[in-house]
Amino acid sequence: MEVSAEVIAQHFKGEIIGDPKVKVTSVAKIESGKFNNICFLANPKYQHYLLTSNAGIVIVNKTLVPEEKVKPTLIVVDDAYQAVASLLDLLNSLKKSKRSGRSCRSTVAWSSKRGKGSYFGAFSYLGRHSKIGKGTQVYPQVYIGNDVTVGDDVILYPGVKIYDGCKIGDNCILHGNVVIGSDGFGFAPTPDGSYKKIPQTGIVIVEDDVEIGSNTVIDRATMGATVVHKGVKLDNLIQIAHNVEIGENTVMAAQSGVAGSSKVGKQCMIGGQVGISGHITVADGAKIAAQAGVQGSVKEEEGKRGIMGAPAFDYRTFMKCYAIFKSLSGKK
C-alpha cells in the first residue's frame, strides 16, 4: 500500500515543502526513517534528526520548520503530535480490505441471518435465530450462540465467544478471546457450608463504537442486563461482573475489575489494576489511578480531582499521607 504526500497533506490540510508526489508505505521513528517511511517531529529535542533523516516524508509543526533545506518532503501542520493518530487511522483504512462471504468450514444455523457484505471465517459458529449485520467481519474460530444480535461493521477477532441472547452494537471491535455473556459469579451459601449456584438469566448489552481488548470477560446479568454503553474502550484482561453498567466514553486500562452491580459513570479514566467493589457508584468524569482499590462510592467532585491508593481517596490527601508514611523510615 502506497500513499503520496499530496494525499496525506489533503487529509491534514497541511502545507507541503518538497515533492508532493513522493510515496510512502509505512510509519517509522524519525531517527530510523527510510525513503519509504513517513515520520513525525513534534518534540524540539529531536529536531537535529531532521537534518540527517532519509525518510520520504516528515510531518512537522509550524514552529519546527528548519531554516536550511532537508532531504525529506515536509508536511507542515498545526500539531504534529495530534496528527499521529489521524494518520495511522488513514493508513489503516487504506490498507484494510474487508472480506465477504462464508467459509465452507464454518457452521451457520438455518434460522440465523448474515448481513450484506459480511464475512464468516473457518471453524466459526453462528447459532439459531442469531443475526450479524452488514459488513461485519467474523474471523475464524469465533463462537456466536443462539438469539445473539451483532450490529453492522463489527470486527470479531479469532477466539471471541458471545453467549446466548447477548447484543453487540454497530462499529464495535472485540479482540482475540473476548468472552461476552459468561455466567456472573453468583453462589448462595447453604447450611452445610457448600454453595448453591444462582442461575444467571440476564444478558450483556454492548452499545455502538465499543472496543474490547483481548481476554477481557463481561459477565451476563443475574437478571436484566450488564451494559457497556456507547464509546467505551476496555483494555486487555479486564473483568466486568454481572449487572455492572459502564458509562459512555469511559476508558479502562488492563487488569482492572468491576464487581457485581456497580455503576461506573460517563467519561471516566480508570488506570491499570484498579479494583472496584460491588454495589457502588462511580460518578461521571472520575479519574482513578493505577492499582487503586475503590471500596465505596465516588462522588463527582472527588472523582474529577482524582483518587488513588487502597482504599482509594483524594490524590492530594494521599500524597500528603504518603510523605508522612515515607518519613517513618528515617529516609528523606
Q: Are residues 70 and 199 in the same domain?
A: no
Q: Residue 109 carries which DSSP code? A: -
CATH number for the domain that contains residue 213: 2.160.10.10
Q: Are residues 72 and 154 in the same domain?
A: no
Q: Are residues 213 and 284 in the same domain?
A: yes
Is the distance from CB of 258 to CB of 298 less than 8 angstroms?
no
Q: How far is CA 54 from its chain centroid?
A: 34
Q: What is the pLDDT of residue 305?
A: 92
Q: Are residues 64 and 175 in the same domain?
A: no
Q: What is the mean pLDDT of residues 116-137?
A: 97
Q: What is the pLDDT of residue 223?
A: 96
Distance CA 209, CA 111 (A): 27
Q: Are residues 24 and 151 in the same domain?
A: no
Q: Which of 121, 157, 125, 159 lies closest to 144 in space, CA to CA? A: 125
Q: What is the mean pLDDT of residues 38-55?
A: 87
Q: Are residues 229 and 253 in the same domain?
A: yes
In this structure, is residue 332 part of a structural domain?
A: no
Q: Which of 274, 177, 188, 270 lies closest to 218 in space, CA to CA? A: 177
Q: What is the pLDDT of residue 265?
A: 97
Q: What is the pLDDT of residue 57?
A: 94
Distance CA 162, CA 136 (A): 15
- 50, 78, 95 — which closes off a domain? 95
Q: What is the pLDDT of residue 174?
A: 98
CATH number for the domain that contains residue 81: 3.40.1390.10
Distance CA 32, CA 40 (A): 11
- 41, 67, 95 — which closes off a domain? 95
In this structure, is residue 330 part of a structural domain?
A: no
Cell readout for 133 is 449485520
Q: Is the dihedral of CA 132, 208, 219, 180 positive or negative?
A: positive
Domain count, the chain: 2
Is the distance from CB of 22 to CB of 8 less than 8 angstroms?
no
Q: What is the mean pLDDT of residues 106-120?
A: 96
244: containing domain? 101-319
Under 8 Å CB-to-CB from 71, ≥6 apart: which residues? 53, 54
Q: How far is CA 53 from its chain centroid?
A: 33
Q: Which residues are catalytic?
A: 242
11's torsion region: left (phi>0), alpha (psi -120 to 50) or beta?
Answer: alpha
Q: Are residues 171 and 64 in the same domain?
A: no
In this structure, is residue 77 part of a structural domain?
A: yes
Q: What is the pLDDT of residue 163?
A: 98
In this structure, is residue 325 part of a structural domain?
A: no
Is the distance from CB of 128 to CB of 111 less than 8 angstroms?
yes
Which value, in Å, is the radius of gyration of the alpha carbons in the chain?
Answer: 25
Q: What is the mean pLDDT of residues 154-183?
A: 98
Q: Which residue carries 442461575 as its cell?
A: 199
Q: Say if residue 325's pLDDT is above 90.
A: no
Angle in degrees, CA 165, 171, 175, rounded to 5:
75
Distance CA 285, CA 199 (A): 34
Tell whether omega for the bond before 20 is within 30 degrees of 0, i.e. cis.
Answer: no
- 76, 95, 114 — which closes off a domain? 95
Q: What is the pLDDT of residue 152?
A: 98
- Residues 227, 155, 141, 219: what is their CA dihedral angle, to the nearest 10 degrees? -10
Average pLDDT score, the chain: 93
In this structure, is residue 70 part of a structural domain?
A: yes
Q: Are residues 185 and 267 in the same domain?
A: yes
Q: Are residues 284 and 158 in the same domain?
A: yes
